[in-house]
Structure 1
Amino acid sequence: MTKAPIKLLMAASGTGGHLFPAIALAQQLPDYQIEWLGVPNRLETRLVPKEYKLHTISVEGFQKGFGFSSLFTLGKLAGSVLDVRKLLKAGNFQGVITTGGYIAGPSTIAARSLGLPVILHESNAFPGKVTRVFAPWCTSVALGFNVAAQYLPKAKTVYLGTPVRPEFRQPEIGASLDLPVPEGAPLIVVFGGSQGAVAINKLVRQSAPAWFDAGAYIVHLTGDNDPEAESLQHEKYISLPFYDNMAALLQRANLAISRSGAGSLTELAVCGTPAILIPYPYAAEDHQTYNAQVFTSVDAGLMFKQSDLTAESLQNEVLKLLCSPLELKTMGEKASSIAIPDSAEKMAKLVRSLVGK
């Protein structure tokens, strides 16, 4: 008789920073039967590949501290724990993998109440609240940045980096850049993560004319929430809401201007792309600043607070870098030095050692 495949529930929801590492890991476990746990109307309903069956629960976090409304949130949490527990039992799952966020709470509680192993991946340099609470409950906590271990003293942590999709590690899979950017022309890539960044978009459009004069092309990924996304027109300017082939784009870029979400930083590091980092000022517990500091600590990028940045200062910083190709090259090499390109394979090895031995 053929042995049934090991069943895993992948609990990953919300932003690309949670979803892309989970998808990259799932691709390294083709012999496992993987089903997905998410939240209705979030990014996973579009990003999760069709071969993964998607289950959804209703859950949210304590964004505004504990108060009367928190009783309602607690009630939803309790209900979602029961829902996940029923799902795990009915589906005969043998383990849970989660990439943090709200969905990690009920997933971890439900799995551990059934004696199932839980592997949590924390991609940020400063772990989120859910990770800090539930990490000690987990069988293992894999870290995207080694500095995160100091905030999780009671957890069983292992530094493995953050998984990225195969095209980031193997340029031939990413293929060539299918955009009208001349070979050899300086290329600036601007992106704000999976949700875009309107404030950065505005600064870039104001700064762009000076960069065009310096010979640079700009590929600007604006997201889909920018009402002025089409306001700048220029032969050296390509504006898109999103771009699927980010691997080829970052491998071609001479410089990136970016938020500092963990997923974005991981992709920049693996591609060896020097960057100007502008942490999202409203990120939970300012975790994007902690992420950016990992880059700046090894001179792999420059960090600026959004509140301190003007169009003129951004314009001048970029012009200085464009005039210093050796500095850009060194920054890119420093970025590569903190990358773990085979993180997905290392994560898959961890999963195999803990689930279905």
Structure 2
Amino acid sequence: MTNTPIRLLIAASGTGGHLFPAIALAQQLPDYQIEWLGVPNRLETQLVPQQYKLNVISVEGFQKGLGISSLLTLGKLIGSVLQVRKILKQGKFKGVFTTGGYIAGPSVIAARSLGIPVILHESNALPGKVTRFFGPWCSAVALGFEVAAKYLPRAKTIYTSTPVRSQFLEPGIEATLDLPIPENVPLIVVFGGSQGAVGINKLVRQCATAWFDAGAWIVHLTGDNDPEAVSLQHPQYISLQFYNNMAALLRRANLAISRSGAGSLTELAVCGTPAILIPYPFAAEDHQTYNAKVFTSVDAALMFQQSELTAEVLQTEVLRLLKSPQQLKAMGEKAKAIAIPDSAEKLAQLVREVIER
């Protein structure tokens, strides 16, 4: 017997919603030798290399319907499967973990062709097309929302929730908030996930004056894609492209206004932050609406479709909630009841059971 560490390849690419849960899992497997699989010019090239070796492949999704571009994409898929097979064989990997998205396709095909087990984590309430297709090929599919199981009847599913970064579980993390916000003022936090949300940003700027008049402060995370991001200036308004200490910020917030990506919702739940959710209207198969309904069904949040939401309605709803601290408290408690704080440990245990059995 040798003490050679088990080698795991993590295939997670694109947005924070795909990467942060995978990083949280990796941190729970310190005895494993982990490498990463990603694509060029995505978020993983910034977040991963300082912690794990990053293997890069060329692959893309079938987004444009059938035609010449689909044949080119298919050619890239076949090439990427061969690339992943080579990485898996040379690295003597014992398992693959993926968070879905188009990088999951070649990863699952390559691993299964070599008899290597695959664990897939699906964070959304409505599983993506890749998960629905490849789920039955996987040794296990971990779910971010219990309701997702009904869309995966042929897959072996287990509910683990979605892991959050370790900072979200630190007691007293709110004390590390380094923004100049007075202690006793109501705080509204506005964010649109890791890429921002220009549609929400515009609505909030139209409403902000009335919220300032009511004594509220706003921390507005605009993302880096909003040409009007600096157009509003006010002593009670803090505008940032990004903010690293989201755990402290959400713990301090009285109310969040947010998209309903699975990662954002998990962070809101762990922090017990009441929210107004505005699903991204162009999300694949409208999956953010499915996510939001998990929260609205237990009164942990309010949801408005962006196409139907006016500045007047948003302004009025926020003012009503700020005048109803008991409702905000109840919403926060119901959000917290959804959370599984030890999700990363549960997911790591699943990975160990599948790979080591």
Task: Give the TM-score category using the shorter length.
Answer: over 0.9
SS at match of 1:35: strand
Determine if contact 1:166/1:173 at 8 Å carries over to the other structure.
no
1:190 equivalent in structure 2: 190
Between the aligned partners of 2:183 and 2:45, the Cα distance in structure 1 is 37
Give 1:227's aligned residue: 227
CA distance in 2, matches of 1:338, 1:136: 27
Q: CA shift at 1:356, angstroms?
A: 3.0
CA-to-aligned-CA distance 1:194-224 (integer Å, 9 cap, x gap): 0000010011011000000111000000000
Alignment correspondent of 2:293: 293
Match of 2:202 in 1: 202
DSSP 3-state at the match of 2:176: coil
TM-score after normalising by structure 1: 0.98
**In the TM superposition, what are the counterparts of 1:119-138 in structure 2 within 5 Å?**
119-138=119-138
Match of 1:251 in 2: 251
Find the counterpart in structure 1 of residue 215 from structure 2.
Answer: 215
The answer for the alignment partner of 1:171 in structure 2 is 171
- In the alignment, structure 1 residue 284 sits paired with structure 2 residue 279: no
What is the match of residue 157 of structure 2?
Answer: 157
Q: Secondary structure at the match of 1:355?
A: helix
The answer to whether structure 1 residue 28 and structure 2 residue 28 are counterparts is yes
Q: Unaligned stretches of 5+ in structure 2?
A: none
Q: Deviations over 1:214-239 (max 9, x none)?
A: 11000000000111100001110000
Deviations 1:87-124 (A, max 9, x none): 00001111000000000000000001000010000000
Q: Give the deviation of 1:310 after TM superposition.
A: 1.1
Q: Distance in 2 between matches of 1:34 and 1:184?
A: 45
Give the AA of the match of 2:131: T
- On the 8 A contact 2:174/2:251 being kept in 1, the answer is no
- Alignment pair present for 1:104 and 2:104: yes
- Is the CA contact (8 Å cut-off) linking 2:190 and 2:221 kept in structure 1? yes
Query: Whole-Å Cα distance in 2 between the matches of residues 175 and 348 of structure 1?
Result: 29
Distance 2:201 2:274 in 1: 19
1:259 aligned partner, one-letter code: R
The answer to whether the 8 A contact 1:123-1:262 is kept is yes
Deviation at 1:166, TM superposition (A): 1.3
Alignment CA distance shift 1:307-1:71 (3 Å):
same
| Match in the other structure for 2:91 | 91
Task: Report deviation, 1:329.
Answer: 0.3
Does the 8 Å contact 1:102/1:130 carry over to 2?
yes
Q: Does 1:269 align with 2:269?
A: yes
Deviation at 1:49, TM superposition (A): 5.3
Provide the secondary structure at the position in 2 that maps to 1:25. helix
Q: Secondary structure of the equivalent of 1:349?
A: helix
Distance across 2 between alignment mates of 1:167 and 1:175: 12
For the 8 Å contact 2:94–2:117, the answer to whether it is kept is: yes
Do the aligned partners of 1:171 and 1:248 also contact (CA within 8 Å) in 2?
no
Deviations 1:239-298 (A, max 9, x none): 000000000000110000000000000000010000000000000000000000000000
Aligned residues of 2:174 and 2:252 also touching (Cα < 8 A) = no
Partner of 1:37: 37
Shift of 1:68: 3.0
Which deviates further from its counterpart, 163-172 or 113-122? 163-172
Root-mean-square deviation over aligned CA pairs: 1.1
CA distance, structure 2, for counterparts of residue 300 and residue 21 of structure 1: 22
Q: How many angstroms apart in 2 are the aligned matches of 1:98 and 1:178?
A: 34
Distance in 1, matches of 2:207 and 2:2, equals: 62
Matched residue type, 1:257? I
Tell me the CA shift for residue 39 of structure 1: 0.6
Residue 96 of structure 1 aligns to a residue whose secondary structure is strand
Cα displacement (A) at 1:174: 6.4
Query: Secondary structure of 1:227's partner?
Result: coil
State how far apart, in whole Å, the 1-side matches of 2:245 and 2:65 are: 39
Correspondence for 1:7: 7
Tell me the distance in 2 between the aligned counterparts of 1:269 and 1:305: 21
Paired residues of 1:171 and 1:247 also in contact (CA < 8 A): no
Q: Which amino acid aligns with 1:7?
A: R
Counterpart for residue 315 of structure 2:
315
Q: What amino acid maps onto 1:204 in structure 2?
A: V
- The more displaced of 151-160 and 59-68 is 59-68
Supply the AA of the counterpart residue of 2:188.
I
The answer (yes or no) to whether the contact 1:37–1:55 under 8 Å persists in 2 is yes
CA–CA distance in structure 2, aligned partners of residues 175 and 210 of structure 1: 29
Q: Give the distance between the partners of 2:86 and 2:260, measured in 1 at CA.
A: 37
Residue 70, structure 1, aligned to residue 70, structure 2:
yes
CA change 1:49–1:346 in 2 (3 A) is: farther
Question: TM-score, normalising length from structure 2?
Answer: 0.98
Q: 3-state SS of the aligned residue for 2:356? A: coil
C-alpha change, 1:174 and 1:79, in structure 2 (3 Å) is: farther
Contact 1:258–1:275 at 8 Å: present in 2 too?
yes
Q: CA deviation at 1:51?
A: 2.1
Q: Specify whether residues 175 and 20 from structure 1 end up closer, same or farther in structure 2 by C-alpha distance, changes over 3 A only.
A: farther
| Deviations 1:25-74, CA, capped at 9 Å, x for gaps | 00000110100000100011112251200011111111123333211111
Report the counterpart of residue 352 of structure 2 in structure 1.
352
Q: CA separation in 1, counterparts of 2:92 and 2:172?
A: 39
Partner of 1:338: 338
Within 2, Cα distance between the matches of 1:225 and 1:173? 29
